[in-house]
Structure 1
């Protein structure tokens, strides 16, 4: 899995329900490495730390491979990397095979797969269409947040390399399924597995309960 873009945001003020709100979702590619730190990406702008940044959401990754799917749905947008608010756009990333809790080398950093993205209204603002929220959830193309176990820089062309798989864990897609599409008759055993896994975040376990 190769890094194809490093993306950083400048704060932007938007109008939402008659009020001015700042957001950091407008990320765009930069031509230099970015530095992953324990709670955020150095130099990025995390506006609302109730929902963004922090140990379990230090850096957000999204798959290049999903871009064509969304371009078909929204062909009139000015498409650039960072459209989903991701810090890193990654080629070859697959939510159906990558497990929560697995550890990867990422440039000079070491990261652990932590939480799938739960989109808020600001994604709809960037796309100019609130329908993207439900479509994003239904697609299971969530991307993922990572915990940064060892800080370090990441640049375009470097790889996301598996160091230690959480062999008995659940995949990102499976956790998305539990959070948004749970059916007891289909997913009861998977739910038990997720709740027992110490590498599934406490925040997501509360959401599952």
Structure 2
């Protein structure tokens, strides 16, 4: 984390239909910035909606964070994007996946957030931008963003400082979990290391990694391509 991490943009959105490969899908990825402080509780930000409650939302995915630093890199590859182009609730500076440890606790405004898991990109990101391989590229580059649970409800807004309250000793970062779960799926040694800390992972990922160690590789096609 940088010496002064901050929330730059706070965004929420309603579920809307989106065309994708000849059908219509429902998604809350199309968010817009909110002016002024927003209440944040165990279910997320007031006014925010998710269409797929199985894979989005819930206590472990209450708030989606995306580093503003990635926007500069994306601009070089696909053109300028304006936050919250990746469907994030909080666009931040000073919080990168490579530096942020799973389980870290931060104060943002009067709320307290705990980092849970990296975001697993899905095809709705591609549909939102009309770029067929954007979910795949987001996954490959590791510019995914990450989720937080809300330990203490409060209010936050654009300009709120983000203060590190606790960083776990295990040192496992968001980027490392993303790499092992989504990209380097044959890295059994790293998978075993993550499985030594099952409390850091959702139960479905524990099952996924355990199966990989027996040689059963999961199919990512439906998530990435729809």
**Contact 1:116-1:175 at 8 Å conserved across structures:** yes
- Equivalent in 87, 109, 115 of residue 107 of structure 1: 109
Alpha-carbon distance in structure 2 between the residues aligned to 1:15 and 1:189: 41
Given the two structures, how large is their TM-score scaled by the length of structure 1?
Answer: 0.91
Instruction: Report the alpha carbon displacement of residue 83 of structure 1 after superposing the two structures with TM.
Output: 0.2
**Contact 1:124-1:130 at 8 Å conserved across structures:** yes
**Contact 1:102-1:113 at 8 Å conserved across structures:** yes
Alpha-carbon distance in structure 1 between the residues aligned to 2:173 and 2:167: 11
Structure 2: any 5+ residue segments left out of the alignment? 211-226
Partner residue of 1:207?
208
Partner residue of 1:181?
183
Alpha-carbon distance in structure 2 between the residues aligned to 1:130 and 1:53: 24
Partner residue of 2:160?
158
Partner residue of 2:119?
117
Q: CA RMSD in A?
A: 1.6
1:127-147 Cα deviation digits (max 9, x unpaired)? 211211111011111110001
Give the number of aligned pairs.
205
Alpha-carbon distance in structure 2 between the residues aligned to 1:146 and 1:204: 17
Instruction: Report the alpha carbon displacement of residue 49 of structure 1 after superposing the two structures with TM.
Output: 0.5
**3-state secondary structure, aligned to 1:60:** strand
Partner residue of 1:191?
191
Structure 1: any 5+ residue segments left out of the alignment? none
Instruction: Report the alpha carbon displacement of residue 18 of structure 1 after superposing the two structures with TM.
Output: 2.8
Bigger mean CA deviation after superposition, 190-199 or 114-123: 190-199
Partner residue of 1:31?
35
- Equivalent in 95, 99, 116 of residue 97 of structure 1: 99
1:140-172 Cα deviation digits (max 9, x unpaired)? 111100011111111111122111111114101
Alpha-carbon distance in structure 2 between the residues aligned to 1:10 and 1:55: 18
Partner residue of 1:129?
131
Partner residue of 1:167?
169
Alpha-carbon distance in structure 2 between the residues aligned to 1:106 and 1:44: 18
Residues 125 and 156 of structure 1: is their aligned pair in 2 closer, same or farther, counting only changes over 3 Å?
Answer: same
**Contact 2:14-2:47 at 8 Å conserved across structures:** no
**3-state secondary structure, aligned to 1:73:** helix
